[in-house]
């Protein structure tokens, strides 16, 4: 089970990130999680939103370059070693993590939520599930 992440390529110029978020806000799209990586000339915004397809359409209409990617999302207990236990399950399954980022959500203060990009999301989710972890769905994220 995977979640759809939107990756947006932005020029590394003042105001470009704000321009993108303003467009999403004007179209009532809620950003659930966001990560920004940059280089000298451009940045890549990776985000999870409440309405993926509307967001992609709005971004493309606004002349942003947006791409959908499948990622895994997990609830991680908010306790010392919580993340490590999940990473150990990935390690036991010999899953390489390309990148990850976290977010908090909803009224559940007992968990943090982690987004993982791996080379094969479906096989990785199945392997990690064998260690007792269930990947969150798009609907699960929307409810947070």
User: pLDDT at position 106, please?
Assistant: 67
| Same-domain pairing of 43 and 8 | yes
User: pLDDT at position 127, please?
Assistant: 83
In total, how many domains does the chain have? 2
| Same-domain pairing of 91 and 42 | no
Q: For residues 49 and 30, is the Cβ–Cβ distance under 8 A?
A: yes
Q: Which CATH number goes with the domain that contains 115?
A: 3.30.2130.10
pLDDT in tens, 125-135: 888 888 888 88
- From residue 141, how far is each of 10, 40, 47, 128, 138 by CA, in Å? 25, 32, 12, 19, 5
Residue at which a domain ends, from 18, 46, 69: 69
| Same-domain pairing of 79 and 65 | no
Residue at which a domain ends, from 53, 69, 85: 69
Q: For residues 73 and 114, is the Cβ–Cβ distance under 8 A?
A: yes
In terms of residue numbers, what domain contains 114?
A: 71-143
pLDDT in tens, 2-38: 899 999 999 988 999 999 999 999 999 999 999 999 8
Residue at which a domain ends, from 69, 87, 107: 69
């Amino acid at each position: 089970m995977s979640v759809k992440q939107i990756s947006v390529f932005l020029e590394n110029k003042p105001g470009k990130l704000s321009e993108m978020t303003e467009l999403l806000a004007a179209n009532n799209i809620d950003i659930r999680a966001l990560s920004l990586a940059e280089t000298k000339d451009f940045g890549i915004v990776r985000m999870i939103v409440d309405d993926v397809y509307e967001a992609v359409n709005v971004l493309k209409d606004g002349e942003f370059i947006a791409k959908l990617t499948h990622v895994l999302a997990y609830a991680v207990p908010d306790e010392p070693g919580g993340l490590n236990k999940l990473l150990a399950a990935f390690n036991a399954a010999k899953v390489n993590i390309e990148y990850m980022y976290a977010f908090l959500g909803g009224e559940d203060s007992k968990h943090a939520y982690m987004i993982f990009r791996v080379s094969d999301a479906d096989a990785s989710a199945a392997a990690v599930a064998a260690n007792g972890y269930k990947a969150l769905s798009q609907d699960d994220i929307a409810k947070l």
